[in-house]
Amino acid sequence: MINSIILSPEIQQAKSELRESLKLVLSEKSQADHDAASVTACALLTSAPEFAAASCVMIFLSMPGEIDTSSIALRCWQEGKTVVVPKIISWKDARMLPVEINSLSTSDLRAGVGGIREPIAGNPMPPAMIDMAIVPGLGFSLKGDRIGRGKGFYDRFLASGSFLGVSAGLCFESQCIDAVPVEPHDVPVAMIVTERGIRRFKSNCLSR
């Protein structure tokens, strides 16, 4: 359990400093560059064989500065795929529930704790039914290690043992760095997609 792990103060400090640095990188990207890179990265992801093979895809609903994932949802629906997004069920315990959505309409979504958009209603989806999980992050290492915003939601989800699909980090190339401080509970992704291309990490892949 993530909450039972004793966190290293040194690594926590390093992560905190890295988060601030990566937030600055994102804030300096112009809207034009953001939009163009988002389109390219999402097109690369939806052209990947891992996406083609997936019947159920979990996406994140983008926060300001993050890659816009709306085109991925639209592509899924065009191809008859099921789309699920996270809904926070316990902020304290860093627990989220994948919920199916059929629209990106503002009437079907709301801003939850921390300004994270989530569905108002929807059918829960067992993690074992999700073939591909598209994962956000402030930064990713060249080995697939990830640094998020520090709450642990995705680490808990990926480490649960219930999700057996492909985990794909989606970010801008400027968010890819040589190394990320890691702790025992941190879970690397199987692939990273940016506007520059796709990196795959066979050692991080889960077997069905």
What six digits make up the tokens of 60?
Answer: 């994140």
Mean pLDDT, all residues of the chain: 88
Report the pLDDT value the prediction gives residue 176, as an integer from 0 to 100: 95
Report the pLDDT value the prediction gives residue 203, as an integer from 0 to 100: 64
Q: Provide the pLDDT confidence category of residue 204 given band limits of 50, 70 and 90.
A: low
Proportion of the chain above pLDDT 70, given as a percent: 93
Do 117 and 60 touch, CB atoms closer than 8 A?
Answer: no
Count other Cβ atoms within 10 Å, centred on residue 101.
23
Residue 152 has pLDDT above 60, yes or no: yes
Q: Provide the pLDDT confidence category of residue 129 given band limits of 50, 70 and 90.
A: very high
Condensed to tens digits (0 to 9), the pLDDT of residues 75-113 reads 999 999 999 999 988 777 778 899 999 989 877 888 877
Strand 117-119 and strand 146-147: the pairing is unpaired
pTM for the whole structure: 0.88
- Burial class, 150, CB count within 10 angstroms (exposed 0-12 / middle 13-18 / buried 19+): exposed
Cβ-proximal residues to 167 (8 Å cutoff; 6+ apart), any chain? 132, 133, 135, 158, 187, 189, 190, 191, 204, 206
Condensed to tens digits (0 to 9), the pLDDT of residues 10-42 reads 888 888 899 999 999 999 999 999 999 999 999
Report the pLDDT value the prediction gives residue 110, as an integer from 0 to 100: 82
Report the pLDDT value the prediction gives residue 206, as an integer from 0 to 100: 52
